Amino acid sequence: MKRTADIQYDSRIEGDLVVTRLDAAINWFRKNSLWPMPMGLACCAIELMATGGSRFDISRFGAEVMRFSPRQSDVMIVAGTVTYKMALVVRRIYEQMADPKWVIAMGACASTGGMYRSYAVLQGVDRLVPVDVYVAGCPPRPEALLDALIRLQNQIRREPVLKVWKQPPPEKPLHRDS
Ligand code: SF4
């Protein structure tokens, strides 16, 4: 039985032309060329490094180009415990990244402070920067980070390209609330 797809491309009719919406094309470029800023702060960073290995092949998602400069990155992966000592450094690096930019909180510590309910640890990096995807686990496996990447790609696919970009919460003194 002949099946007809909702959207199809017939080279005999369309030739070398593909018609699409501008925001669909721009979001397609963006979601398939994410350049991560590896914000490795503790043990979760080891799993982040493992994700870059050949076994997991992060290149399938176009995200293998880890940058160590915020000006060349568009997705910050916060992997590890965010201490108060590091908190403002994380925020400064986030602010140096150009829009559009996204944040993945990798692991229990980055998401909530994890088991460190202590005076030295920030209880979640979302108190500093807007987080798009949280990854559970202590530590999460590389597959979990890849799953977060796919979720972020799905989010980017639906974003309006002319939106006003999220701003981080206004600067205010960090309170130690342990
Ligand atoms: S979530 Fe677990 S593995 Fe990750 S930084 Fe915290 S203690 Fe380490």
107 within ligand 1 shell (Cβ under 6 A): yes
91 CA from centroid of ligand 1 (Å)? 20
The answer on pLDDT for 14 being more than 90 is no
Report the CATH fold assignment for 19-158.
Rossmann fold (3.40.50)
At 140, give phi and psi (nearest 5°).
-70, 150
pTM comes to 0.84
Q: In the chain, pLDDT over 90 holds for what percent of residues?
A: 61
Any atom of ligand 1 within 6 Å of the Cβ of 114: yes
Q: What is the pLDDT of residue 178?
A: 45
**Is the CB of residue 79 below 6 angstroms from any atom belonging to ligand 1?**
no
Is the C-beta atom of 138 inside 6 A of ligand 1?
yes
pLDDT tens profile 74-83: 999 999 999 9
Give me the count of residues in the chain: 178
The one-letter amino acid code at 43 reads C
Q: In the β-sheet with 75-79, what is the strand arrangement from edge to edge?
A: 36-40, 75-79, 102-106, 133-135
Contacts for 161-168: CB closer than 8 Å, 24+ residues apart: 161/22, 161/23, 161/26, 161/27, 162/23, 165/99, 165/100, 165/101, 166/130, 167/130, 168/91, 168/94, 168/95, 168/128, 168/129, 168/130
Give pLDDT tens digits for 123-173.
999 999 999 999 999 999 999 999 999 999 999 988 887 765 666 665 655
Give the residue, by CA position, lying nearest to ligand 1 atom 6. Answer: 109
- How confident is the model over 94-110, as a mean pLDDT? 94
Burial letters for 14-26: b for 16+ Cβ neighbours within 10 Å, e otherwise?
Answer: eeeeeeeeeeeee
- Stretch 46-75: mean pLDDT: 91
Best of 43, 78, 134 for a ligand 1 pocket test (most atoms within 8 Å of beta carbon): 43
Position 112 scores a pLDDT of 94
Does residue 54 register a pLDDT over 70? yes
Domain boundaries, given as residue ranges, for the chain: 19-158
Q: Is 49 in the pocket of ligand 1 (CB under 6 A)?
A: no
